Amino acid sequence: MTVSVETRRSRVTVYAKSTAPSLTPVKPGKTHEFTALDHSMSRHSVHLVCYYRQAPTVTMTALKESLCDVLSYYPAMTGRLVKNEGDGCGEWMVKCNDAGVRMVDARADTTLDEFLATATDEEERQLAYWEDVGSDPYLWSPYCIQFTDFKDGSMAVGISCTHFHADPTCVAVFSRAWSETHRRALVTCPPFFHPWAFYPRKNPVPSSPHLSEKSTIPPPLHPPAMSSVTFAFSASSVRQCLADLQLSNLSPFDALASLLWLRISSYKSASLGTAQLTLAVDCRRRMSAPLPLGFYGNALHFFGVKADLSSGWSHIASELNCHVSGIKEDDVWSSVEWLHERSKEKAFQMYGPELTCLAWDNVPVYNAEFSPGAIPVHVGCRIGNAQGEGLVVIMAGAPGEGEEARTVIVTLPTDLTAQIYRDEAILKYGPKIMFSPNI
């Protein structure tokens, strides 16, 4: 935390912890194995927070009941981590022992609108309760669901889980399935458990220069304190960005990612030169045998993009566009096979320590309607343990703001965050600033 004026006391209070079982008992002996990608992500956690307006069917009791209902489809979520003693590999896997997921009850001393307008980064973090694995992984629930009641009857639902089990897309699809179960509608994307999805090909070509480089970076001795800020860009702001770039067939992601990359780098060092940005892209649909959206597990592909930052914003944007659209399936497979080869070794940090960007705007996140027609007012997503130079998460914005609207969550070392949310170049486009650090 920075040394500054007195920090405001948090308005969020957690008051109870319980466990939700699934409605139907799990058959004894069921297990779920992890892929190489899952193992590689084990150091991180995913936190998704959805905010809902007051509605008669959206109450803590009703949500807890429908949570138990939807958990019947996700036996892997209610299981616990054990070491796979079976075929002697000693890796972690899930024993589906029907233990349930952790639930946390909380209340916020304010109304939803006031919270969205004035809450700090610290307060938003408190809407998704998370406990790291303690001394006994068998007693540790890999998922934690927090229900926060606001003064005006609105509700925030925070789903936290270990990145080992699921990537952000998986969590978003789960929340959608949960909302459909709550409304007693058909579950459109039922979970697809297929640990062999990323099993190496017959003739593996394990190679990932980017990841090999990352694995050799030693973890920083004193990781800096990080804080976040959220920029909510409306469709008109994004269109303005794209207009300013004066290039055709650029996506909102290209525009925003390149803008932020440029601005963050300009604060880090006075002179700009060639720099590298790590990108994480969901590759469920990019495989030639595409995985369904309901695929349970990790399907993020990490790769590096080099660009000369001094050659201007447009150049950077077009470089990003080139790389993202030009992802080859072979590269994905090579990367997976490389990870598979070293899966027995300790996992290294995937998000960071260098500047990383998660391209998540192609995944719909505002479709978890617990009450018919009532989509979330706002959705935020954070990644845990992404210390280092920073992480930028670009996700879809609220549908009410337009199709091109985007929400950008920037996590940087605290002093950089303070500068970035006052940056003129970004503020020029008039994004709404939410959850800024407590300064």
Partner 1 sequence: MANEPLPPFSSSVRLKYVKLGYQYLVNHILTFILIPIIVGISIELARVGPDEILSLLRFLNDLDLIYVMSTLFLVIIVGTVYFMSRPRPVYLVDYACFRPKPNFRVPFSTFLEHARLVPQFDERTVRFQVKILERSGLGEETCLPPANHYIPPTCSMAAARSEAELVIFSAIDELLNKTGMRPKNIDILIVNCSLFSPTPSLSAMIVNKYKLRSNILSFNLSGMGCSAGLISLDLARDLLQAHGNSNALVVSTEIITPNYYLGKERAMLLPNCLFRMGAAAVLLSNCRRERSRAKYRLTHVVRTHKGADDAAYRCVFQEQDSEGLTGINLSKDLMAIAGDALKSNITTMGPLVLPASEQLLFLFSLIARKVFKAKWKPYIPDFRLAFEHFCIHAGGRAVIDELQKNLQLSDQHVEASRMALHRFGNTSSSSLWYELNYIESKGRMKKGDRVWMIGFGSGFKCNSAVWKCLKTIKTPVDGPWSTSIHRYPVDVPAVVKVL
One of 13, 24, 274, 311 touching partner 1 (CB under 8 A): 24
Nearer to partner 1, 55 or 60 (CB): 60
Assess contact for 100 and 22: CB atoms under 8 A: yes
One of 21, 153, 204, 223 touching partner 1 (CB under 8 A): 21
The distance of closest approach from Cβ of residue 296 to partner 1 in the complex, given in angstroms and rounded to an integer, is 20
The distance of closest approach from Cβ of residue 100 to partner 1 in the complex, given in angstroms and rounded to an integer, is 5
- Region for 246 from its dihedrals, namely left if φ exceeds 0, alpha if ψ lies in -120 to 50, beta otherwise: left
Contacts of 349 (CB under 8 A, 6+ apart): 43, 44, 214, 219, 385, 386, 387, 388
The distance of closest approach from Cβ of residue 176 to partner 1 in the complex, given in angstroms and rounded to an integer, is 20
One of 12, 68, 255, 277 touching partner 1 (CB under 8 A): 68
Distances from the Cα of 376 to the Cα of 58, 63, 356, 370, 426, angstroms: 12, 14, 27, 9, 26
Under rule CB under 8 A, residue 121 binds partner 1: no
Under rule CB under 8 A, residue 427 binds partner 1: no
Q: What are 291's two structure tokens?
A: 């995985």
One of 4, 8, 25, 422 touching partner 1 (CB under 8 A): 25
Q: What are the DSSP calls for 360-407, one per residue? A: ETTS--TT--SBTTB--SEEEEEEET--SS-EEEEEE--GGG-TT-EE
Contacts of 311 (CB under 8 A, 6+ apart): none
One of 17, 53, 286, 315 touching partner 1 (CB under 8 A): 17
Under rule CB under 8 A, residue 325 binds partner 1: no
Under rule CB under 8 A, residue 64 binds partner 1: yes
* Stretch of 16-24, 49-57, 227-235, 245-253 contacting partner 1, by CB under 8 A: 16-24
* Stretch of 17-25, 166-174, 316-324, 372-380 contacting partner 1, by CB under 8 A: 17-25
Cα separation of 337 and 356, whole Å? Answer: 22
Assess contact for 36 and 342: CB atoms under 8 A: no
The distance of closest approach from Cβ of residue 158 to partner 1 in the complex, given in angstroms and rounded to an integer, is 18
* DSSP assignment letter at 56: T
Under rule CB under 8 A, residue 183 binds partner 1: no
Under rule CB under 8 A, residue 69 binds partner 1: yes
Spatial CA neighbour of 143 closest among 19, 294, 58:
19
Q: What are 227's two structure tokens?
A: 């804080």
Q: What are the DSSP calls for 254-274, one per residue? A: HHHHHHHHHHHHHHH-SS--E
One of 19, 212, 276, 311 touching partner 1 (CB under 8 A): 19
β-pair partners for 103? 18, 145
Under rule CB under 8 A, residue 18 binds partner 1: yes
- Judged by CB under 8 A, the number of residues near partner 1 is 20
Under rule CB under 8 A, residue 99 binds partner 1: yes
Cα separation of 246 and 294, whole Å? Answer: 37
Q: What are the DSSP calls for 200-213, one per residue? A: PPSS-----HHHHH
Under rule CB under 8 A, residue 131 binds partner 1: no
The distance of closest approach from Cβ of residue 99 to partner 1 in the complex, given in angstroms and rounded to an integer, is 4
Nearer to partner 1, 23 or 287 (CB): 23
Under rule CB under 8 A, residue 98 binds partner 1: yes
The distance of closest approach from Cβ of residue 92 to partner 1 in the complex, given in angstroms and rounded to an integer, is 17
One of 136, 246, 271, 346 touching partner 1 (CB under 8 A): 136
* Stretch of 47-55, 63-71, 225-233, 267-275 contacting partner 1, by CB under 8 A: 63-71
Kind and range of the H or E run holding 413: strand 406-413
* Stretch of 22-30, 215-223, 276-284, 430-438 contacting partner 1, by CB under 8 A: 22-30
Under rule CB under 8 A, residue 80 binds partner 1: yes
Nearer to partner 1, 17 or 286 (CB): 17
What Rg do the C-alpha atoms of the chain give, in angstroms?
21
Under rule CB under 8 A, residue 4 binds partner 1: no
Under rule CB under 8 A, residue 23 binds partner 1: yes
* Stretch of 14-22, 158-166, 204-212, 242-250 contacting partner 1, by CB under 8 A: 14-22
| Alpha helices (H) in 51-111, listed in sequence order | 60-71
Cα separation of 111 and 218, whole Å? Answer: 44
The site for partner 1 (CB under 8 A) is made up of 16-21, 23-25, 64-65, 68-69, 80, 97-100, 136, 139
